[in-house]
Amino acid sequence: MVKSNFKFETYLDVLSDYSERSYFAKLRLSAHNLQIEIGRFGKNKTPRLERFCLYCLSLGKQTVEDEVHFLMSCPLYSTERQKMLDIIHKKFPSTLLLNPNDMFHWLMTQENVIFIKSIGKFCNKSFKIRDETNSKLLSFNS
């Protein structure tokens, strides 16, 4: 979905922090623990359209938790997302016109060092927020 040509990716050199590089790579590779992926496996596979974001579900919204939802629209990460997008929109205001899918692709294929660092920070912080929140939601529902 992200990679269109075979080449060394800039983010591998730019993101010196292991966690930032790892989470960014996992998001690009779909090697993460978002519901869209973990619902594919196990005895009780979840139908694709029912792999809901636990946080959004707690708000009464049935939204599939995929990569685009995580990066572009989940309200749980709105503060972190806004920090990232403020940096990007300031330099490229035309990105405000992109739909979430196109913006996701644009972000995942960035070569700009400042943007890559901003996206890496978002991924690192947001995946950690997600883990903490899901842990609380699952223990509350048990």
Say if 36 falls within a structural domain.
Answer: yes
Q: Percent of the chain, pLDDT > 90?
A: 82
Say if 13 falls within a structural domain.
Answer: no
Between 77 and 6, the higher pLDDT residue: 77
Indicate the number of domains in the chain. 1
Length, in residues, of the chain: 142
Extract the tokens encoding 133: 């929140």
Say if 44 falls within a structural domain.
Answer: yes
Host domain of residue 115: 29-141
Q: How confident is the model at residue 16, as a pLDDT?
A: 94
Q: How confident is the model at residue 108, as a pLDDT?
A: 93
Local confidence band at 4 (pLDDT 50, 70, 90 cut-offs): low
- What's the whole-model pTM score? 0.91
Per-residue pLDDT of 12-49, as tens digits, reads 999 999 999 999 999 998 889 999 999 998 888 999 99
How far apart CA 134 and CA 114 sit, in angstroms, is 30
Extract the tokens encoding 54: 């636990």
Say if 122 falls within a structural domain.
Answer: yes
Average pLDDT, the chain: 93
- Burial string for 22-39 (b: 16+ CB within 10 Å, else e) reads bbbbbbbeeebebbbbeb
Say if 109 falls within a structural domain.
Answer: yes
**Three-class DSSP category at 64:** strand
Say if 70 falls within a structural domain.
Answer: yes
**Look-up: residue for tokens 């979840």?**
46
Extract the tokens encoding 91: 């330099």
pLDDT at 95 over 70: yes
Q: How confident is the model at residue 142, as a pLDDT?
A: 60
Say if 22 falls within a structural domain.
Answer: no
